[in-house]
Amino acid sequence: MESDDVPRKTSKVLVRKPGLILPELSYQIVGALYDVYNELGFGHQERIYQRAIADTFRSRSIPFVEQYEVPVHFHQKKLGTYRLDFLIQDAVILEIKQGNYFRPSNIKQTLSYLKSLNKQLAILANFTRSGVSFRRIVNAQEAHS
């Protein structure tokens, strides 16, 4: 095993910033992500990370729905359904990715989920070789209403 393949522990030191949307819930979610990475490391499929995150949420009594279905309508006709990885406390969308970076399509997809559900905040998380990276994505329309 090369040194780059050794799972690294990632720090759970989170800086609390004033003015964040749903800060306490966000910190709980991100803390769970770090704990999952510290246990599993890099290289698993998204579904493995999702199962571990769900187990972590359950053990911490954080209410969530996994694979939450969101219907998409056009002129009152259902066109299809989105499936979110997680909807946490009916407030925060969590989307999980595995790879080295966020693609623009990941961000656009997550923003469309926010708008479809009229939610303020999503966390897009990526399990990378060097640890967990995450982005808070804010639905500007909901954040100011």
Is residue 87 domain-resident?
A: yes
Distance of CA 70 to the CA centre of its chain: 16
Phi, psi of 75 (to 5 degrees): 50, 50
Is residue 14 domain-resident?
A: no
Is residue 10 domain-resident?
A: no
Strands (DSSP E) contained in 2-120 are 64-74, 77-88, 92-98
- How many CB atoms within 10 Å of residue 132? 19
DSSP three-state, residue 124: strand
Is residue 48 domain-resident?
A: yes
User: Would you give per-residue pLDDT tens digits along the chain (145 residues)?
Assistant: 333 333 444 444 445 556 789 999 999 999 999 999 999 999 999 999 999 999 999 999 999 999 999 888 899 999 999 899 999 999 999 999 887 888 999 999 999 999 989 999 999 999 999 999 999 999 987 555 5
Which is nearest to 64 in space by CA: 73, 72, 55, 74?
55
Q: How many domains does the chain have?
A: 1
What's the confidence (pLDDT) of residue 1?
A: 37
Domain extent for 83: 21-143
Q: Decide if 52 contacts 32 (C-beta within 8 A).
A: no
Q: Where residue 92 sits, what CATH number does that domain have?
A: 3.90.320.10
Q: What type of residue is 141?
A: Q
Angstrom distance (rounded) from CA 121 to CA 136: 7
What's the predicted TM-score (pTM) here?
0.82
Is residue 28 domain-resident?
A: yes
Is residue 12 domain-resident?
A: no
Is residue 133 domain-resident?
A: yes
